[in-house]
Structures are given as structure tokens and as C-alpha cells.
Amino acid sequence: MAKVKTRCMFCSMQDCFYLQETPRSEKADWVRESVYYLDFDEEQIRGLCGRGNFCGELAVHPKRLLMARIGWDKHPPKKVAEDLGKKLAGLSGEKIAFLLDGSLTLEDATAVIALAEKLGSRKVALLPAEDAALGPINNDFNFDNVAKAITNIVIGDAFTQSPTITRLVHDANLLGRNHTIVGIDPIRSRTGWFAHPELNPPLGKTLQFIEALTSAVKGTPISDLPLDEFGVSADNFGWAISAIKGAEGNGNVIFAPGWHFEDPYAIAVAAQELAKAGGFKFGALTIGSNSRGIFRLLATAGMDYAGTIEALYKGSLDAMVAFDCDPMSALPGIKLPEIFGLTGQMNTEGYDSATHFIPTCFMFEKRGTIFGTENDFIELEEGMPAPGTFCVNGIIDYIAGEKISVPSNLRDIVANYEHGDDAPVVTAKVPENDLIGVGHGHVFHHGDGRYTRHVDFSKVHVPAEVDSALISPELAESIGLKKDDRIKVSSGIAQAELGIILQDWVDSDKVLLPMHWTAVRELFDFSKNPTATPIEIKIEKA
């Protein structure tokens, strides 16, 4: 019975687990019990979250797509890839774009870059778009130290975005009375429930607030700082400073931007400075498991991220190939070109529109390398691919019509990447109006939800409220809403109908929107706001 050690693909925690295989020859049916079961890595104390547990079921899900096609005619994967390659070869490289999922390996990403260069294209972009802001950021923390730290400063809703870090932060908090969590987030969130203090500067002021904390840690008197601008009491601010200084370097600053912040890149840089001032370690958490590594490869190769996104929304492309991602889920509103190649595993938003589809392996089934969140490299040494599927780099060999070689210095390119002073993506200003829509995560859903939202799982009953916004009872009462009502949310460019969940802890001037839901992502203009900065909205009873 094959047993492989692998990694979860659903966030940058890169949690480790085992897949155990029962020999296929002993079973006639293709169901979970007959092929794989998932086992925890006993050496990894954080285990797997509900999202990570989906990996075992995804691998053998009855709705998994295992047939390649051109149009709706089924063909061997090699033939589909070769046909796609011939069509791409007849086009101008400037009219071809490639999109990469954050769960691809470094080898996969390098192969896509080589294919783009062969065809004369610089239009290659990472999805989810939100992760590009953290691509250049270097981490220096490690997960073991998070569980032993005296003070963990958590910026953003890390407990929802990367659920298994919750165990580590709580382990540290339970070590003693002087061990604490300091939460910083303009949005009251699940992470903030456990923080002491929870510091909630106004939207658009997080950067200045972190800079004020850094100044205070370096010795600036609290009385000299503009705390009134931040809506934070001197007592809570002082408590946070004491928690940093009292840790004597045994602490971490953890940044999980999600969709809460005005400029995630600038805030990450400021958070690094706060960590240095306190002698702490720093870690940024992306949505995709390997997004930082892929971003660095694309940037080093000179790929045009902004131009790719712009071309997708303008409709100026003749062809687009999306590798293991679904641009129709991640970037709703794009204009599909005549040729749309798609690789993947499940029937998601873009499947019906693809002119060419090729089934591929999930990250946890592959061999290859990913860039670790601890700034190390993780080798996926034991693959367990589904029958008839390829890794992306294998498919690209057929598209290119030749063997694509991987550079021997792949790790050096990623590890030694240096970014300039400019933000890697354009950021948008936070609006100043009566009601703000803020992207919100879900512990059962990853990114745009293309897997976890589209597929039923036998082990986990995903609650019906997955398409619901979180609002305060005060806001609901002001517009005559009751518990089971639905609302229409308008942003000026789109409208979405959602359920509601009343939560006392949500601010009355904000609505938390489920970002795994495509209709919600349509509310955000990713062509101008790729980090999904909070937006101005209006709501009414549906």
C-alpha cells in the first residue's frame, strides 16, 4: 500500500499530511474508501483544518474531471495539448496571456515562463491576484517559535485565512499569564476575539498606526503620538507596547492581509519594521500555498503582471491559458478570448467556456518544489497522481513541442530575489462613506472557492450560509432586515444577492462579504483594485 508524505494546497501554512493508497486492483469502484485515506503527520502539532481535510476527498472525488477535451470532443491529453500549442504558435505573442495558480510548483511556474518566452509573450500573472502584493516580502519567522512566543502580534484575520496557525498562537497564549496575542485590524474579526488588546484603527489608517507603534517601541513617548486619529485608547496602546518590550525579542509579527487593508505591500513593509524594532520575527501569509515563490519567478523573468490583468479586462487577447486556476472565478468580468485553454481537476466556473481542457494533478499529488512560508524550500518528493493526469510542466512539453528544461539555479532565483521600492501591484484608496464592503474569509473556503464551493464533501457539511454576508443587528434593524432575509449589495459596477448572518461583533458601518463567492468578487473591480481593497457599497432588502 503506497503511503506518501505531502502538503496541503489551501493556504501558506503548507500543512503536512499523509495519503495512504489501497491498491486499485483490489477495488472496482472509484470512491474515497477504496483508493485514498488521509492521515495526520504526528510530528506536526497543528494538524489540518477543515479545508485541508478536503484534500483526501478531492483526490478521488466522484466529480473529478479525468478526460481531456477539445471543444466537447474527448481526446488524449497529449493530443489536446499539441492542438492548443499549434493554435498558440499561429498567434502574436503579445495577444497571448498565461495565468498561474498559487498552488503550482516552482518547476511548473518555470515551465510556463519558458513557454511564454518561446511564444514571445510577457503576459503572465499569478492568481489569486490578491497574493501579488506579498510576493516580494521575506519572512524570517518559523512556526515552532510562534507556539512558544511571549507575544504574537497578528495583523489581519489570520485565524480565518490560515486556520491552523490558530493552534500555534493559542499554544503560546496558554503558556503563562504574560503570554499574549495583540490583534491589529481595521475590521473586527475572528482573530480579534482572542486578542488582548484588539486594536482597530480606522480603515485607511493601519499603515500610520503600525508606524506609530514602531515609534513608541523605539522610545517616542505615547503622549507625542496622535492616538485620537486611530480611535485607540492610550491604555490599550500602552499595553501593546509593554507586550512587545516585555517579550525581550521572543515574539512574532504575523500579517495575513486577506481583503482588509488599503495597501497590503506597504503595511507588510511597515510590519517588518515593527518586528525589527521589537527584536521580533516576521511572517506574511498568502492565500495560495506557493504564491510568493511563483511571484518571484515571474518578476525575475520580467513578466508583465499589470499588463496581463489590463488585457484580460479590455478583451485585447486572442488566447488565454489558465494553469490550475479559474480566471472566471478569480477575476469575474474578464473578456474571454477566442482560445481559452484550461487545466484543472474539477468542474468550476470556467470549465464550460474552455476551448481546450486538460486534467492535471493537485499540488499534493505532485513531485516538485514549493517556496516555504518559513523562507525555506519544501520538496514534494513522493507523487501520487491520479490515472491519466499530468503535472503542468509535463503538459507544457506537449504544448511547446519540445522538452522544457528547468534552470539548475531555480532556488537561488527565488531565495535571492530583490524588489525595488515600488509596490508590486496598484492599490486603491479606501472610500470614506457611510457603508463599506469588506472582503471576508471562511474557514471552510479557500480563495475564490473554486474547489471548496463547487464540490460537495461527504465528511464536512458546509453550512448553508456560505453565500451570506455578516452584518450587525444595528444595521439590519435600520433597514428593516430580519434573520432569514436576503439582501442586494451594489458597488456601482455589479450587484449581488446574498443571505445575511447577524453578528454583534461586526461594526455597524461595515458589511463583511464572502470572497469565495463569485458574485461577491464581481463587486470588486480587479482591473483597478487587484488587492480587493474595501469598497463603497449600498444594500437593500432583496
Find, among 310, 371, 327, 331, the residue nearest to 136 by Cα.
Answer: 371
Distances (CA, A) of 153 to 178, 199, 203: 14, 10, 19
> Is there a contact between 243 and 307 (Cβ–Cβ < 8 Å)?
no
pLDDT band, very low/low/confident/very high, at 353 (cuts 50, 70, 90):
very high
pLDDT band, very low/low/confident/very high, at 33 (cuts 50, 70, 90):
very low
pLDDT band, very low/low/confident/very high, at 399 (cuts 50, 70, 90):
very high
**CATH architecture entry for 436-541:** Beta Barrel (2.40)
Burial class (CB in 10 A: 0-12, 13-18, 19+), 348: buried
Distance from C-alpha of 393 to C-alpha of 367, rounded to nearest angstrom: 11
Torsions phi, psi of 301, nearest 5?
A: -80, -5
Which helix (H) or strand (E) is 54 found in, with range? helix 54-59
Residue 464: the pLDDT is: 57
- Please give the model's pTM, rounded to 2 decimal places: 0.94
What does the pLDDT average to over 106-111?
97
Which helix (H) or strand (E) is 414 found in, with range? helix 410-415
Distance from C-alpha of 401 to C-alpha of 26, rounded to nearest angstrom: 38
Distance from C-alpha of 410 to C-alpha of 426, rounded to nearest angstrom: 28
Is the alpha carbon torsion for 184, 254, 286, 267 positive or negative?
Answer: positive
Per-domain boundaries in the chain:
3-59, 68-131+290-415, 143-284, 436-541
Angle at 308 between CA 335 and CA 66, to 5 degrees: 65
Cis peptide bond prior to 197, omega within 30° of 0: yes
Examine the pLDDT at 53 and tell me if it is beyond 90: no
Residue 38: the pLDDT is: 77
Residue 203: the pLDDT is: 93
Burial class (CB in 10 A: 0-12, 13-18, 19+), 250: middle
Q: What is the mean pLDDT of the chain?
A: 91
> Is there a contact between 241 and 297 (Cβ–Cβ < 8 Å)?
no
What does the pLDDT average to over 376-386?
89
Grid cell locating 177: 499569564
Angle at 495 between CA 436 and CA 329, to 5 degrees: 95
Examine the pLDDT at 32 and tell me if it is beyond 70: no
Distances (CA, A) of 310 to 124, 285, 526: 12, 26, 9
Residue 442: the pLDDT is: 86
CB atoms inside a 10 Å sphere around CB 248: 11
Identify the weakest region by mean pLDDT among 294-298, 411-415, 423-427: 423-427
Tell me the per-residue pLDDT of 136-187, one tens digit each, with 9 for 90 and over: 999 999 999 999 999 999 999 999 999 999 999 988 877 766 789 999 999 9
Please tell me whether residue 292 adopts helix, strand or coil conformation.
helix
pLDDT band, very low/low/confident/very high, at 382 (cuts 50, 70, 90):
confident
Strand order from edge to edge, sheet including 319-323: 73-75, 68-70, 356-359, 339-344, 319-323, 96-101, 124-127
Examine the pLDDT at 466 and tell me if it is beyond 90: no
Which helix (H) or strand (E) is 237 found in, with range? helix 234-246
CATH class of the 143-284 domain in this structure: alpha beta
Residue 35: the pLDDT is: 59
Strands 495-502 and 510-514: unpaired
Q: What is the DSSP string of 30-41?
A: -SHHHHEEEEE-
Distances (CA, A) of 289 to 106, 241, 277, 374: 11, 32, 29, 12
Q: Which residues contact 123 (CB under 8 A, 6 or more apart)?
A: 94, 96, 97, 98, 116, 303, 304, 307, 308, 311, 317
Please tell me the CATH code under which domain 68-131+290-415 is placed: 3.40.50.740
Distance from C-alpha of 261 to C-alpha of 202, rounded to nearest angstrom: 10
pLDDT band, very low/low/confident/very high, at 58 (cuts 50, 70, 90):
confident
Angle in degrees, 0-180, between the axes of helices 264-278 and 206-217, rounded to the nearest 10: 10
State in Å, rounded, how far the first CA of the chain is from the last one.
54
Angle at 518 between CA 389 and CA 427, to 5 degrees: 105
Per cent of the chain over pLDDT 90 is 75
